[in-house]
Chains A and B, each alone.
Chain A
């Protein structure tokens, strides 16, 4: 995994002569943070410790793995958080505490996600609305829809069958004892998104589109289609994250609040180039784990929860400043 991220901007399978693979610094940062967490809480090296950590981080990691598609293509998806909310609220309204509806409700939610992604992509591609505005508008709309649907007061918890994905674990696995379903979902989704981004024509076209849309267009890249796919990837990952979060938390109209910014922060920590052209799925997942680890650490230190936002804001800015600084030093344009 690690080596793959390195080459996010390079072609794999092609010999790079005389160049040591550069490892993305996010992996060192993550490792250092995990060591720090272990020191402050030795239970962390127990399976329950790190598995719970991974389980908690899974929704954000999935969201970041989807968000990176939009970022690499040159945009932002700010509607992801509200789509999480809509998924959780909408599922609870549709399920209405009846467990046997779980599967079709999930199908409906993915259909909603697909529609949201396609609309975002169409609005950006054909109406030429910058993604920032388009997805912010979508965010307002979806939040409003979630309120409307639940008449402003969603109730209680989702049924157990639905909460399975977020809460349950597969027991009796050697070495690690148990495997949270959420982590399994992360691994599967992460692998699919990794493969699409770093192995296929689609992935290379996403990079080209974000790097230089005009050049991509003149090279025959179907830029509208590729952009729409990027937004769809982000939206579907948001629905997935919503389904997992529905398992952890209760139903409310603010489950998803702030997640879009956390996902963007995670991508930036993972070294993604804002406004497109460079980014990696594994590094973004690592960025999400890093962010979660920082929050965990802050929690251990005893900082109140709201300071998270301050820290996140500082990290977001610092990561971008650092990236700019490194790029300038490398003599880029």
Chain B
């Protein structure tokens, strides 16, 4: 199937963002009829590279060659027209429109100038039929009514129906269970046979082994290694991490460092959680793993009072703690660092100090002096920010201008000022430079050493395993497994996808 040109070739791509060099001289290609796996840790530059390919970003240097012709995409549409379709992690579906309308977004079939709804639904049904009869999705269903996995399939159907020559799949299995993954893998095989070039982004080794023809590993914005065959998983992992793990993650807690029970959750549940029971102790970091939508974030939000528990017994340091609002939870000594910092934590137009002091001010009297709350004064906050090594031209500048890692540290400072008993981190290093990650990990460990109980929700499995003293795994709103330190990725994945359940 291979033609003499690769379907796409990216040569010497360089891209910088303010404060971050995202890509350094990266070359990458994909031939028709092959699956080229692109691996790397979060923040290694995979998504940036693909956004350049799809015309969302423009590279600072280097060129994109499609079918032997150099192209400069200035608009995502130009890339689509050139036959490149990208399926992103964050969905680009319109929730209030039907499946068919989404698949044919902006290119609805018409008859005599009017949209032919019947033809559109038929076409959509044909595209969706690729998934086999097990996953029947009605083209006239409103997308919001579909579950996450089905939405992912619609997303793929959309790319397929574009008749793209190159399909980029960005961690397509993040939300899928084992059976659904198999459907996807079958589809990838079909597409490959029909001569489509597939770029498959993942950091899951079994998927690479199962699907890929070639593997490229990105690390810190550079090509760490390229394999023209599929190597042993260990080789890929070594290239991805490429550093001394011992130093990257902080030392785990020694047994004597783990103290009394801080949070106890017993038979708790709400509409998204069932019968959850666990304990968190002072001084330990407990990682929560599971697939997207397994209920980890829902659990964190329930503890924090954002979407409260409706049943069960929850105590914080022995006192009843079924909170119904974040404010109540914060008063009792719970803090939460959300995964989507920009949407849920930062007040971007305010200064670094303002961001750090927000919660202290919120818990103080309305007419109290904003620069001298009972919890922390502006001077003390500045000192704290300096101690956390938050790098900013001035702490009076807008937090918008800071890098992700520094923003995250400022949010940590927000909670430190209140000395919480329990601190919940959701995706603590999402969107953070690889070099800054270690700083966050050590910061979390220091907090635990000082007696804080830490709950960490993360989709980054190496991170969960590297940071946590214990790992709890969730599936379908339930806690399904617990591992002490030293569990393998495979163990956790198995529990998270529920493979035993399928086998049973």
Contacts and interface: CB of A to CB of B under 8 A. Distances in A.
Interface of A: 7, 9-19, 196, 199-205, 207-208, 211-212, 214-222, 225, 229, 273, 277-278, 331-333
Given A11-B371, A14-B371, A18-B394, A277 B353 contact: no
Interface of B: 18, 304, 306, 326-327, 330-331, 336, 338, 343-351, 353-354, 357-359, 361-371, 373, 378-379, 382, 393-398, 400, 414
Given A17-B394, A208-B350, 11 more contacts: A9-B351, A10-B354, A11-B353, A14-B351, A14-B378, A16-B394, A201-B370, A205-B361, A219-B326, A277-B347, A277-B348
Give 7 closest A-B pairs by Cβ, nearest first. Answer: A16-B396, A211-B347, A220-B330, A201-B361, A220-B362, A277-B349, A202-B366
A199 B394 contact: no
A11 B345 CA distance: 19
Contacts of A273: 349
A204 B357 contact: yes
Nearest to B347: A211
Contact of B354 (A11, A17, A199, A220): A11
Contacts of B327: 220-222
A219 B359 contact: yes
B369 A199 contact: yes
A14 B353 contact: yes
A9 B349 contact: yes
A207 B349 contact: yes
Contacts of A204: 350, 354, 357-358, 361, 370
Contact of B366 (A7, A18, A201, A215): A201
Counting chain B CB atoms within 10 Å of each CB, which of A201, A214, A277 scores highest?
A201
Nearest to A225: B366
B80 to A, nearest CB: 25
15 contacts: A9-B398, A10-B351, A11-B357, A11-B396, A14-B396, A199-B370, A200-B370, A201-B367, A201-B373, A205-B358, A205-B361, A215-B347, A222-B362, A278-B349, A331-B18
Nearest to B364: A201
A202 B367 contact: yes
A231 B213 CA distance: 63
Nearest to A207: B350
A196 B365 CA distance: 12
A332 to B, nearest CB: 7
A14 B369 CA distance: 13
Nearest to B365: A201
A12 B370 CA distance: 9
A217 B328 CA distance: 11
A218 B345 contact: yes
Contact of B347 (A15, A202, A207, A225): A207
B358 A216 contact: yes
Contacts of A19: 394, 396-397
A218 B335 CA distance: 9
